[in-house]
Amino acid sequence: MRWIGLQALVALGAFALSAPGVVRAQQMQPQPSPAAAPAQAGQPAWMTVDAPHKAVHFEIAMAQNGDNGTLNFNGYARGAMTITVPLGWHVTMHVTNAGSGAIPHSLEIITITENIPAQGVEPPAFGGAETVDLVDGMKVGQSDHVDFVANAAGKYWMFCGVPDHGIGGMWDYFVISNAATAPSVTIVKDKS
């Protein structure tokens, strides 16, 4: 019977672990140090990494809270947040207007310029790196999917294309890195 076989294996395993020679061998194995634990700070719950496929997904809530007068992405504005992805990775975002402030918003990835654009810029830095109704914005509760390949290294803006929102601080950084081996998110606290 399978059950008896399992019991026998468990008993054998227990005996093996209790044998002095095995215990000594286990003690000789290097122990993982606390510093080797994966960092949690760089991996928020709204980021999902699929490393084997070099793909990363972000859940982005526009106007998530009252930060920066509700002009924010996931609560961050004016460059307080930097999303970094390795060069060549496939990026998807599910972008929702969470509704704080009850006004439309949009999202696009654009090249950084000397002056912040007054409204959405066409085309975005990467084909597909924008939500629908870029300038008019998506209404409260509306969502859209963004899908692009991060195929040029550099530092970009994640920007709201509704007029004056970018100038009002509705932008964060989106970095495509030659050096990064995994996506990460960095938050600068108390940035004013």
Residues that bind Cu ion (CB under 5 A): 105, 160, 162, 165, 170
List, in order, residues 6 or more apart from 78 with CB less than 8 Å away: 68, 169, 171, 191, 192
- Identity of the residue, 105 or 142, whose beta carbon is nearer to Cu ion in the bound complex: 105
- Min CB(34)–Cu ion separation in Å: 41
- Min CB(171)–Cu ion separation in Å: 10
- Min CB(49)–Cu ion separation in Å: 27
- Identity of the residue, 56 or 77, whose beta carbon is nearer to Cu ion in the bound complex: 77
- Identity of the residue, 60 or 85, whose beta carbon is nearer to Cu ion in the bound complex: 60
- Identity of the residue, 56 or 109, whose beta carbon is nearer to Cu ion in the bound complex: 109
- Min CB(57)–Cu ion separation in Å: 22
Tokens of 111: 């090249």
Query: H/E/C letters for each residue in 78-107?
Result: CCCEEEEEECCCEEEEEEEECCCCCCCECC
